Amino acid sequence: MLPFLFYENRNKYTDLRFLAAASSDGEINGISGFSGKIVAPEIGEVTEGGAVYFQLRDWGTGSIFGSRKNALIKLILKTKEDRSMFRLLCQEGTARRGEFVTPHGVIQTPVFMNVGTAAAIRGGLGAMDLSVLGTQVLLCNTYHLHLRPGDDVVYALGGLREFTRWSGPVLTDSGGFQVFSLAGLRKITEEGVTFASHIDGRRIFMGPEESMRIQSHLASTVAMAFDECIQNPAPYEYTRRSCDRTYRWLVRCKEELDRLNGREDTLNRKQMLFGINQGSTYSDLRVAHMKQIARLDLDGYAVGGLAVGESAEEMYRVLEAVEPFMPADRPRYLMGVGTPVNILESVARGIDFFDCVMPSRNARHGHLFTSRGIINIANQKYRTDPAPVDEACGCPTCRDFSRAYLRHLMKADEMLFFRLAVQHNLYFYNRLAADIRAALEEGRFRSFYAEKREIYGKRI
């Protein structure tokens, strides 16, 4: 297998940027709907920093772009050690603006991933809606999809992207958080966890290998490692042992996913793996665990086990302790967080990826995020209010409907309320991430952060 090839160029026939891997016979598979054949030089003569040329073909038609002479595209060879698919574009303090190249598209960071636990956004939103709302990544849950409809069903139907008709990147949570939240219904051993299904009570076993096999069946873009998520606070000695076990499980996850990605019947043979840092609120355990998992050279790294009982100040303290030891050339993901203010504070501390059910859950209860603060649409003062939820918002809800109408739908218990409210809050979160990216690009993140953190947590 040749090392990775990275192509970034423009000519009269193409405007592409992608990562590709070439096999020993010279075939190249990119991620932008194209494939090719190396034609010069000889495969064995390619060295690091050298160039190879290939004919660019459209996967659908098989046609070569341009004339045969002009269709030779140059690629620069990169070694596996230089394969990072995260590019840091600019930085202000610890806050980072980047791009993460995946097999299913380029993710602009910082990014908020929209949570579709069971392959749908609760509130009646589908893949086409997400595109309109500015969604970059759909997050689905391994545990829930394994139980219903079954990962074998999703596999038979072509993976999550075919199943949901979502064309962009998908990240699957390993199921660890859900499994460990079952508390009295599960038993932990070195091999994994035995637990009772919350649906029908049947006993199920899940370990690192099982989680990887389920996520491979789901064919997500990014698979999350199977870890033990403990509640905060937790005893120091138990936390230390848990970190050691989570590391051993991560090694097994990596080995199993490497094996699965090598199988001919795997739907996404370029599936990526993120490791998860644990350690409760103990800075020394967090740092030691981060150093340990960073040596595994994974595609990205998450901070897990936060926002599960500790204060926001403790969470920020943990991030400040861990961040210096997170690989700078890989994306950083804070799992399950959080409020708009949490996101601002965490971006300021070097985090790139976020997810949370808060925008959709709060929307269903009438709590809507706006550029001026949080409103409760059920309040009497909105009964005859003709204004949109947020006059500064460009979402479909704010373009077409009034606060009075949304309040009426909520009071009448109409299903349309959930859809309109959820799409507004998701748009707000996606727009927040885009505004943070713009502020970083323009060198004004500090002032943006100082202004918005005083507004976004305020109830009006």
- The 10s digit of each residue's pLDDT in 329-353 is 999 999 999 999 999 999 999 999 9
User: Is the pLDDT score of 16 beyond 70?
Assistant: no
Give yes or no: residues 181 and 230 share one domain. yes
**Which of 332, 356, 380 is a domain's end point?**
356
Say if residue 154 is in the same domain as residue 280: yes
Query: Does position 360 have pLDDT exceeding 70, yes or no?
Result: yes
Q: Among 82, 103, 133, which residue terminates a domain?
A: 82
Question: pLDDT tens-digit profile of 158-175?
Answer: 999 999 999 999 999 987
Decide if 201 is inside a domain: yes
Q: Virtual CA dihedral for 143, 147, 149, 151, nearest 10 degrees?
A: 60
Question: Mapping DSSP to helix (H, G, I), strand (E, B) and coil, where does residue 89 land?
Answer: strand
Grouping H, G, I as helix, E, B as strand and the rest as coil, residue 352 is: coil
453 vs 175, more confident = 453
Please identify, among 82, 108, 132, the residue that sits at the C-terminal boundary of a domain: 82
Q: How far apart are CA 17 and CA 364, in angstroms?
A: 39
Question: Within this chain, do residues 241 and 389 fall inside the same structural domain, yes or no?
Answer: no
Mean pLDDT of 111-136: 96
Q: In terms of domains, do 284 and 250 share one?
A: yes
Contacts for 370 with CB less than 8 Å, ≥ 6 apart: 389, 390, 392, 393, 428, 460
> 312 and 404: one domain?
no
* 458 domain-assigned: no
Claim to verify: residue 97 and residue 76 sit in the same structural domain: no
Select the more confidently predicted residue: 333 or 14. 333
SS3 at position 420: helix
pLDDT of 198 reads: 84
Residue 56 lies in a domain: yes
Residues 93 and 77 in one domain: no
415/281 same-domain check:
no
Residues 248 and 275: their CA atoms lie apart, in Å, by 11
What local confidence, expressed as pLDDT, does residue 92 receive? 98
> Average pLDDT, stretch 93-113?
97
Higher pLDDT, 84 or 444: 444
Active site residues: 173, 355
Q: How far apart are CA 277 and CA 289, in angstroms?
A: 6
pLDDT of residue 75: 41
Q: Which helix (H) or strand (E) holds 129?
A: helix 127-132
Residue 99 lies in a domain: yes
Closest CA to 133 of 87, 168, 171: 168
Query: In this structure, are residues 133 and 123 in contact, taking their beta carbons and an 8 Å threshold?
Result: no
Residue carrying structure tokens 């350690």: 279
Residue 209 scores a pLDDT above 80: yes
The rounded mean pLDDT for the chain is 85
Helix (H, G, I), strand (E, B) or coil at 340: helix
User: 428: which 2 tokens?
Assistant: 């707000």
Residue 435 contacts by C-beta under 8 Å, 6 or more apart in sequence? 448
Range of the domain at 234: 86-356
Torsion over CA: 244, 246, 249, 255 (sign): negative
Non-local CB neighbours of 305 within 8 Å, separated by 6+ positions: 229, 230, 232, 276, 278, 279, 280
* Whether residue 256 sits in one domain with residue 231: yes
Those residues with Cβ within 8 angstroms of residue 5's Cβ, 6 or more apart along the chain or in another chain: 19, 20, 21, 22, 28, 52, 75, 76, 77, 78
- Asked whether residue 126 is domain-assigned, the answer is yes
Within 8 A by CB and 6+ apart from 347, the residues are: 95, 96, 110, 436, 445, 449
State whether 227 and 173 are in the same domain.
yes
Average pLDDT over residues 182-199: 83
Asked, for residue 130, whether it belongs to a domain, the answer is yes
349 and 251 belong to one structural domain? yes
Whether 332 and 396 share a structural domain: no
Local structure of 95: helix, strand or coil: strand
pTM: 0.83
Q: Contact 211/145 with Cβ under 8 angstroms?
A: no
CATH number at residue 280: 3.20.20.105
Q: For the chain, what is the domain count?
A: 3
Residue 96 located in a structural domain? yes
- As a whole-number percent, the residues of the chain with pLDDT over 90 amount to 74
For residue 290, being part of any structural domain is answered with yes
Confidence of residue 1 (pLDDT cuts 50, 70, 90): very low
